[in-house]
Amino acid sequence: MSQVSELGASMPRLEASAKATGVARYTADLAFPNMLHGAVLMSTSAHARIKSYDVSAARALPGVRAVMTGADIPRKRFGLMIADETALAIDKVRYIGEPVAAVAAIDRETALAAAELIQVEYEDLPGVFTPDEAMMPDAAIVHETFAAYPKNFDCIADGNAISIAQVLSGDPDEAWAEADVVVEGVYETQAQYHAYMEPVAAVADVDGLGRVTVWSSTQSVFRTQICIAEALDLPRAKVRSISPYVGGGFGGKSEPGVQIIAALLARETGRAVKVVLSRQEDMMMMRSRHPARIHLKTGARRDGTILVRTGSVVMDGGAYADDSPAAMHMVLHFLRGPYRVPHLRFDGRVLYTNKLRAAAFRGVGNAQATFACESQIDELARKLSLDPIDLRLRNVLQQGDSWLGKHPIGSASIGECLQRVRSESNWDARRAALAEAPTSKSGKRRGLGVSSVVYTCAYLSTSAIVRLLDDGTVTIATGAVDIGQGSDTAIAQMCAAALRLPVDSVNIVQADTDATPFNSGTNASRITYMLGQVIAQATDDIVSQLFPHAAELLECSVEDVELVPGGRVAIKGVKERFVSFADCSRRAHFKAGGPIIGRGSYVFRVEEPDTELTINKGMMSLAAIGTYVFGAQVVETEVDEVTGKVEVVEAWSAHDVGRAVNRQAVEGQIEGGLVQGIGFALMEELVWSDGQLTNPSFMDYKIPCSLDAPENIHAIVIENPEPTHPFGVKGIGEPPVIGIAPAVGNAVEHAVNVRVRQLPITSERVLRCLLDRGS
């Protein structure tokens, strides 16, 4: 094992070898004595009242142990922001694929066969399949009892709206008069499937005390615990939630998958029950990124100074709210981009439709906003005949500037990020050369495009407990789930660095609501930032307990000792006069004071926006949203003028990460995010026809694979230590995905002079634009 204890050093992920060799155990690998297997019956109707069930044939099938429908479960609703969901449909179904009934049987085949035998009588209702249909005055209402649902923010809504909100700063109506140029456009983004490698899965068991334990593929053991407890009407203490290895989440596993269904079946049968969805079921039942239509208008002076921006966004939330309000509020929050925009107004609305629910997805809301914002900045540059990077640099936020309502932005390094991609990509010379190059003999042209990226990291609260074991190694419990992004390694590295221990002296406790303290979840690029905060506190706590032992043993005063590398405490300046952590810890364990335990607790909080400056209407609180992270991305694309197909041939992605905890892991995040961004930009889209998903398989729904990724991805790591953080780190989980789609759109325009305002930028869309453009 590596002896690295330096922060910033590259080291392989702790679990890399276990995952690569197949030793790592995921939820689907778990087995218990007498375990049953579950299957879920999905709704075949997009919107219908449930008239009756007939489960007799299913119950009679040999091997079946339980059949449950909405009639057999507590009528308790749960949900992150609006409690509108039940684990199985009750009274109504609202999308094709919604869980209607569940079966537990001696094997999966039998459970599936039994599910097929369940008869559900539906009375079909008219469906609403697009936000436009949902907004019609006579539209069918997806949730008639919306007003009665508990909500955790100041929700404004009517009809099928889940949330209606506005952000207003300055006086946009007046400001237009001063604008020399105005650009305006409508930008559309699509439903993207999370496409984590591991479909959702859960195993639930009950013990003799009625306690439910659930192992599952989740981004938050605590959210899972809360949802199960709420749905089953149990106190938190009766629900234990654990996560084994998780095969990706990207936001899709923040809220429950099949955990509640597994728990219901386990309670019903008194046996362990495993539910693992197939890829098709996962695609039909779970979540997507929110489709959005953004109308955006920007006014600027002739020299490129942006004066005013207004816009409105309509988003498709699908059948259940999940975190739709937050996603829409994030669009409003980020639509200004990392620029000085003195006057702005953004209106937003997210609606229920009879489709798969939309939810958080890497860069939630921001990816949609950035596509509109950064496409339009290029359109402005074109209109003003300015270089796109020059125009951005003229307007970027500067040190000391703030976000809406005086939100502090930390190190305002957006300008630096843009300069770095400009120099590393050789932007000026390359762009000029590409523009002058003739179309290749086979009909291909290349272009270069850029996008700014701004996001936040941190969010909500977290905690850690570090225990010093009697041999001087440590065990750290944080409740953070490593979903594949590498947080366990980062935690170990930060903890090791703080205590000057080798990384392999740090043992990490698997996320478990019984064994690890609260962490709200692996999302919002928050884990490394938030964990760093509590690791610093907890290790300081350890040190403050350790030093008195060391001082006693070294017969000196506490002020005269210091940590030295390798798990030692020495007399300041005399490193050969030391005692080991083991010496101190054994003393604590067996002689004086008792075992050493360090603790850390942290909640991210800044001031609420200053309402003198910015009025937020109908929005959730943004005081916990975190600190700002800046980046810039450049892509070179090749457009095939014969077919319209676009390929990304090279990419540069610069991100101010504050400080890299593990450089190689940061580069991995940048590369992975960028490729996922290429999928969003060029090919990924869930498509429905009358509420029926038409492409629920990887045969039909394409994600980029290694051959679709550019050979050269230049991950550029910029380090301006974050002043609010003990290790100086910021989160980098989401930013790399965000700027790719607009950068690709901008590069396409540079290459072939057409502007595609709708994602994905498919070959068909490009070819149609090319034909409209003429040659």
Site membership for another protein, residue 695 (CB under 8 A): yes
Closest by alpha carbon to 743, among 349, 425, 401, 287? 425
Q: How big, in percent rounded to 5, are the helix, strand and coil portions of the chain?
A: 30, 30, 40
Segment interacting with another protein (CB under 8 A) among 329-337, 519-527, 701-709, 742-750: 701-709
C-alpha distances in Å from residue 297, one per residue of 183, 186, 188, 307, 343: 6, 9, 14, 11, 12
Q: Residue 708 Cβ, how far from another protein at the closest point, in Å?
A: 5
Of 711-770, binders to another protein (CB under 8 A) are: 762-764, 767
Q: Whose Cβ is closer to another protein: residue 629's or residue 686's?
A: 686
Distance CA 481, CA 661 (A): 18
Q: Judged by CB under 8 A, which of 121, 174, 514, 700 binds another protein? A: 700
Q: Residue 688 Cβ, how far from another protein at the closest point, in Å?
A: 12
C-alpha distances in Å from residue 706, one per residue of 168, 452, 646, 699: 43, 25, 16, 16
Site membership for another protein, residue 109 (CB under 8 A): yes
Distance CA 223, CA 241 (A): 9
Q: Judged by CB under 8 A, which of 577, 645, 663, 755 binds another protein? A: 645
Q: Residue 642 Cβ, how far from another protein at the closest point, in Å?
A: 5
Q: Whose Cβ is closer to another protein: residue 544's or residue 697's?
A: 697
Q: Whose Cβ is closer to another protein: residue 613's or residue 703's?
A: 703
Q: Whose Cβ is closer to another protein: residue 611's or residue 706's?
A: 706
Segment interacting with another protein (CB under 8 A) among 204-212, 214-222, 702-710, 737-745: 702-710
CA angle 326–624–334, rounded 5-degree value: 50
DSSP 287-310: -BPPPEEEEEEEEE-TTS-EEEEE
Contacts for 303 with CB less than 8 Å, ≥ 6 apart:
394
Q: Residue 100 Cβ, how far from another protein at the closest point, in Å?
A: 18
DSSP 570-601: EETTEEEEEEEHHHHHHHHHHTSS---EEEEE
Q: Residue 700 Cβ, how far from another protein at the closest point, in Å?
A: 4
Q: Residue 248 Cβ, how far from another protein at the closest point, in Å?
A: 19
Q: Judged by CB under 8 A, which of 402, 582, 708, 721 binds another protein? A: 708
Q: Judged by CB under 8 A, which of 95, 352, 652, 701 binds another protein? A: 701
Q: Judged by CB under 8 A, which of 10, 643, 664, 753 binds another protein? A: 643
**Is residue 203 a contact partner of residue 262, using CB atoms and an 8 Å limit?**
yes
Please name the residue that has the structure tokens 């604008």.
179
Q: Residue 643 Cβ, how far from another protein at the closest point, in Å?
A: 6
Site membership for another protein, residue 514 (CB under 8 A): no
Q: Residue 702 Cβ, how far from another protein at the closest point, in Å?
A: 4
# residues near another protein by CB under 8 A: 29
Q: Judged by CB under 8 A, which of 58, 683, 717, 754 binds another protein? A: 683
Site string for another protein, 414-443 (x = CB under 8 A): ----------------------------xx
Q: Judged by CB under 8 A, which of 180, 702, 720, 753 binds another protein? A: 702
Distance CA 365, CA 331 (A): 5
Site membership for another protein, residue 97 (CB under 8 A): no
Site membership for another protein, residue 649 (CB under 8 A): no
Beta-strand runs (E) in 607-663: 614-617, 627-640, 646-656
Q: Judged by CB under 8 A, which of 705, 712, 723, 773 binds another protein? A: 705
- Classify 351 as helix, strand or coil: strand
Q: Residue 651 Cβ, how far from another protein at the closest point, in Å?
A: 17
Q: Is residue 736 reached through a cis peptide bond, with omega within 30 degrees of 0 on the bond before it? A: no
**Is residue 662 a contact partner of residue 9, using CB atoms and an 8 Å limit?**
yes
Segment interacting with another protein (CB under 8 A) among 27-35, 248-256, 363-371, 700-708: 700-708
Angle between helices 527-554 and 487-499 (to 10 degrees): 30
Q: Whose Cβ is closer to another protein: residue 644's or residue 733's?
A: 644
Q: What is the total residue count of the chain?
A: 775
Distance CA 550, CA 559 (A): 11
Angle between helices 740-752 and 366-383 (to 10 degrees): 30
DSSP collapsed to 3 states, 172-241: HHHHHHHCCEEEEEEEEECCCECCCCCCCEEEEEECCCCCEEEEECCCCHHHHHHHHHHHHCCCHHHEEE
Q: Residue 47 Cβ, how far from another protein at the closest point, in Å?
A: 24
Burial 181-205 (b: 16+ CB within 10 A, else e): eebebebbbbbbbbbbebbbbbbbb
Site membership for another protein, residue 197 (CB under 8 A): no
Site membership for another protein, residue 687 (CB under 8 A): yes
In eight-state DSSP terms, residue 339 is B
In eight-state DSSP terms, residue 557 is -
Distance CA 488, CA 24 (A): 14
Of 21-80, binders to another protein (CB under 8 A) are: 63
Q: Residue 712 Cβ, how far from another protein at the closest point, in Å?
A: 17
Q: Whose Cβ is closer to another protein: residue 199's or residue 631's?
A: 199
Distance CA 378, CA 389 (A): 9
Q: Whose Cβ is closer to another protein: residue 437's or residue 771's?
A: 771
Segment interacting with another protein (CB under 8 A) among 22-30, 105-113, 326-334, 395-403: 105-113
**Is residue 609 a contact partner of residue 716, using CB atoms and an 8 Å limit?**
no
Q: Residue 88 Cβ, how far from another protein at the closest point, in Å?
A: 22
Segment interacting with another protein (CB under 8 A) among 608-616, 665-673, 695-703, 719-727: 695-703
Q: Judged by CB under 8 A, which of 110, 254, 310, 616 binds another protein? A: 110
Q: Residue 48 Cβ, how far from another protein at the closest point, in Å?
A: 24
Q: Residue 192 Cβ, how far from another protein at the closest point, in Å?
A: 14
Distance CA 520, CA 32 (A): 29
Q: Whose Cβ is closer to another protein: residue 166's or residue 643's?
A: 643
Q: Residue 696 Cβ, how far from another protein at the closest point, in Å?
A: 10
DSSP collapsed to 3 states, 475-527: EEECCCCCCCCCHHHHHHHHHHHHHCCCHHHEEECCCECCCCCCECCCCCCCH
Segment interacting with another protein (CB under 8 A) among 108-116, 185-193, 282-290, 298-306: 108-116
Distance CA 526, CA 731 (A): 6
Binding residues (CB under 8 A) for another protein: these are: 63, 107, 109-110, 112-113, 442-443, 642-643, 645, 683, 687, 694-695, 699-705, 707-708, 762-764, 767, 771
